[in-house]
Chains A and B, each alone.
Chain A
Amino acid sequence: MHELSIAGAVLDSVRREAELRPGTRVLKVGLVVGELSGVDSDSLRFCLEALVRDTEFADISLEISPSPRRHRCCDCGETFTVADYQTVCPACASCDTDCIGGTELQLSFVELEEQ
């Protein structure tokens, strides 16, 4: 259960963005959670909601976009989404493919309004 420390890191970043823009209020935070990031989205949401309670961010809405595991074929360049751990290239059947997505844990945006 490390989602609480991750939620804390998200909130620190959001607070920093808000401080950079005095006179604004944060409405929404966008996160990308990769399938291989080791982070559970529901648990992260639960922890963030617990952390913002009774703070100036209490009304913040949270948009969590899942990011599936993506691979690129080293032989033919095909990019594809990996389902059921199937990492073989669907175009040329090469086994030599590299992971290009799905490990990320990103803070993608904040939405603010003038107060």
Chain B
Amino acid sequence: MNRVSLERKVLSENDRLAAGLRARFAAHNILCLNLISSPGAGKTSLLERTLEGFPREMRVAVLTGDIQTDNDAARLARFGFPVQQITTGGTCHLDAKMIERALERWDVANLDLLLIENVGNLVCPASYDLGEAAKIVVLSAAEGEDKPLKYPSIFFKSELLVLNKIDLLPYVPFSLEKARENARRVHPGMEILEVSCTTGEGLPAWQSWLENRRAQLANAPAGAAT
């Protein structure tokens, strides 16, 4: 009997494709962000408000993943920026191959910002690198504040937590303080923004975060992402 040591990542094929995407984004100075949440936390709403606030000349595109329907793409296409729906047909996450295939239809060199809306799921998308500069996790006040403790992987791997639906706070038993504390137990120092996509509260801070992140990218050496 012969034991062959491999010490190889199981998702090495996905990681290889993601590294290729990351290199392409770096070469064209594109900020790619991967938005992840459970279904209904408000990823699409956050993207709607984000696109709505951009000037027409903004070089932004959106890839939105769902198991079925192109409802989200229809919602997002209203703002006049390129949007593509990735329908996974049952798969609970996006992978690097799906992103690569979708990008074949666009001239990536013409973009400054690529926003990816992952399939609504706090578990599986955490395992798949899409070549993004950062993962962003969205959690809404309509969910439990213990989500970070229940799904630590995604909260640990995300650079930013967007706490959405804060307009509902008077009506739901959700403690912002507890949610923040839980997120930072899993991910010490995690950046947290509180927003309401319905009232617009907190959105300026989100827009500033995006601007800062783009500025950071412009100043950072290529390929520095984790």
Contact = CB atoms under 8 A, between A and B. Distances in A.
B14 A37 contact: no
Contacts of A12: 13
Interface string A15-59: 001000100100100010001111100000000000000000000
Interface string B144-179: 000001001110110000000000000000000000
Given A2-B123, A38-B124, A112 B4 contact: yes
Contacts of B3: 109-112
Interface of B: 1-14, 91-93, 95, 123-124, 126-128, 149, 152-154, 156-157, 185-186, 188
A110 B128 CA distance: 24
B13 A108 contact: no
15 contacts: A2-B93, A5-B95, A13-B8, A13-B10, A24-B2, A31-B10, A36-B157, A38-B127, A85-B149, A103-B157, A105-B9, A107-B6, A107-B7, A107-B10, A112-B1
Interface residues of A, number: 35
Interface of A: 1-2, 5-6, 9-10, 12-13, 17, 21, 24, 27, 31, 35-39, 85, 87, 95, 97, 99, 103-114
A39 B153 CA distance: 9
A87 B188 contact: yes
Contact of A104 (B2, B9, B128): B9
Contacts of B127: 2, 6, 37-39, 105
Nearest to A40: B123
Contacts of B185: 85, 87
B92 A85 contact: no
A37 B153 CA distance: 6
